[in-house]
């Protein structure tokens, strides 16, 4: 049995050495052929392709840089304009609310009730139209309509204002 195991071991070692020997020269041939392939005309084409793609990339980056410089400035200007418009609208609504509260009675002889009116203020700040949307009684609706109809507000931003106002009477 010792001979068999030594023989098997020897054959395995011989097979391993042959495998290494066979791959060694083949590897050397492959490496020798690679430099020749690099010297051929194809890599020069790749170099020219690489140069063209780099030029295209640079042009794209230049265009993108120009767009980046313009877009943020335009976006900032637009954002600033939106903030100013929002601030103007908020200030106008606060003023309008104060004017409506000033015209509203604290108590009425009509008893408790509610009303909702829809109105449109023109460029001068005067109501163009006032309509009762809902009311607990017709008299509550009439009172709400008269409060808004007699309103004189400053000129609204944008030229006109459409609004809805609800009232709760005590």
Radius of gyration of the chain (CA): 44
Comparing CA positions, the residue from 130, 101, 97 lying closest to residue 116 is 130
For the chain, domain boundaries? 2-68, 73-169
57 phi/psi in degrees, rounded to 5: -65, -45
- At 26 the pLDDT is 45
Q: Return d(Cα 78, Cα 115) in angstroms, integer.
A: 39
User: What is the rounded (10 degree) CA torsion for 29, 34, 39, 41?
Assistant: 120
Spell out the per-residue pLDDT of the chain, length 170, in tens: 445 444 445 555 555 555 555 444 444 444 445 444 444 445 555 555 566 666 666 666 665 555 555 667 888 888 888 888 889 999 999 999 999 999 999 889 999 999 999 999 999 999 999 999 999 999 999 999 999 999 999 999 999 999 999 999 98
CATH of domain 73-169: 3.30.1150.10
What integer pLDDT is reported at residue 118 of this predicted model? 98
Q: What is the pLDDT of residue 53?
A: 64
What confidence score (pLDDT) does residue 47 get?
A: 53
The reported pLDDT for the residue numbered 100 is: 96
- Supply the pTM of this predicted model: 0.55
Name the helix (H) or strand (E) containing 153. none
Structure token digits, residue 154: 């400053």
pLDDT for residue 166: 96
pLDDT for 70 equals 60
């Amino acid at each position: 049995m010792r001979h068999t195991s030594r023989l098997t071991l020897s054959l395995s070692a011989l097979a391993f050495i042959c495998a290494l020997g066979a791959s060694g020269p083949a590897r050397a041939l492959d490496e020798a052929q690679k430099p020749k392939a690099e010297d051929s005309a194809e890599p020069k084409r790749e170099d020219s392709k690489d140069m063209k793609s780099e030029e295209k990339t640079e042009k794209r980056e230049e265009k993108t840089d120009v767009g980046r410089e313009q877009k943020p400035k335009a976006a900032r200007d637009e954002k600033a304009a939106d903030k100013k418009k929002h601030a103007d609208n908020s200030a106008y609504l606060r003023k309008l609310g104060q004017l409506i509260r000033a015209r509203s009675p604290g108590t009425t002889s009509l008893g408790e009730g509610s009303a909702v009116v829809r109105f449109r203020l023109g460029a001068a700040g005067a109501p163009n139209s006032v309509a009762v949307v809902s009311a607990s009684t017709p008299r509550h609706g009439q009172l709400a309509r008269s409060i808004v109809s007699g309103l004189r507000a400053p000129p609204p931003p944008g030229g006109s204002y459409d609004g809805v106002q609800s009232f709760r009477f005590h």
